[in-house]
Copies of this chain bind each other. A is one copy, B any other.
Amino acid sequence: MTEVTDRISRRQVDKFAERRAQLATSALRTLSELGYARTSLREIAQNSEFSHGVLHYYFRDKVELITACVKQYKAECVTRYDQIVVTAKTAEGLRKDFAEALATTCREDASMHRLWYDLRNQALFEESFRKDVLEIDQTLEQMIWRVVTTYADLAGRPLAVTPGTAYGLLDGLFTQALLRHLSGVPGATEDLAAAAHQTLPKLLDA
């Protein structure tokens, strides 16, 4: 009996979680297009295949929906550059691949990334976002740290910076490139690749 009900309730939970994810994906699309400030629940629902009422069946309130979106986005980000790390054979190869991957991300995932920065900024004002944002930020920092440590290993030189510093520096380059790219400044992503390529060895000791 318990087995059956367990199986049932688990199936229900799965379906529930599945629809939550589906709605979150839909919301992410709308959010990345309009930004946090201008996105309403009705707008999210309208861009999905459901009515606006259903959002409150799957999410307690707006904050819980947005938080779910952020968490879902996290999963997408976390492994973005791991392939590069794994396949890297030389320091120079890693440096080149990483710099170009950054530029490609900036070019092709600009909308999702401006949303990430938007939500990270909301955390500066609204305490309710802070926990999740800090968690994602730390995951990104670790992702960068994997790249940087691998680069140092391949180069056979010790690292000269902390994980936080390495992440802050590279994230700053990305932020700037994103603003310029979305503003239509020509060569913004190429400049990002060049700057990242130039910065990576500076994170190492002489």
Interface residue ranges, A against B (CB under 8 Å): 34-38, 114, 117-118, 120-126, 130, 133-134, 137, 160-162, 164-165, 167-179, 182-183, 191, 195, 198-199, 202, 206
Given the interface pairs A183-B134, A199-B165, the reply to whether A114 lies near B120 with Cβ below 8 Å is no
Q: Which residue of B lies closest to A188 (CB)?
A: B164
Within 8 Å CB of A120, what residues of B? Answer: 179
Q: Which residue of B lies closest to A119 (CB)?
A: B121
Within 8 Å CB of A133, what residues of B? Answer: 179
Give, as a whole number of angstroms, the nearest-CB distance from A167 to chain B.
7
Q: Which residue of B lies closest to A161 (CB)?
A: B198
Is B122 a contact partner of A199 (Cβ separation < 8 A)?
Answer: no
Is A125 a contact partner of B171 (Cβ separation < 8 A)?
Answer: no
Is A125 a contact partner of B164 (Cβ separation < 8 A)?
Answer: no
Within 8 Å CB of A173, what residues of B? Answer: 165, 168-169, 172
Partner of A125, one of B114, B130, B176: B114
Within 8 Å CB of A172, what residues of B? Answer: 168-175
Give, as a whole number of angstroms, the nearest-CB distance from A183 to chain B.
5
- When chains A and B are docked, how far (Å) is the Cα of A122 from the Cα of B161? 32
- When chains A and B are docked, how far (Å) is the Cα of A124 from the Cα of B133? 19
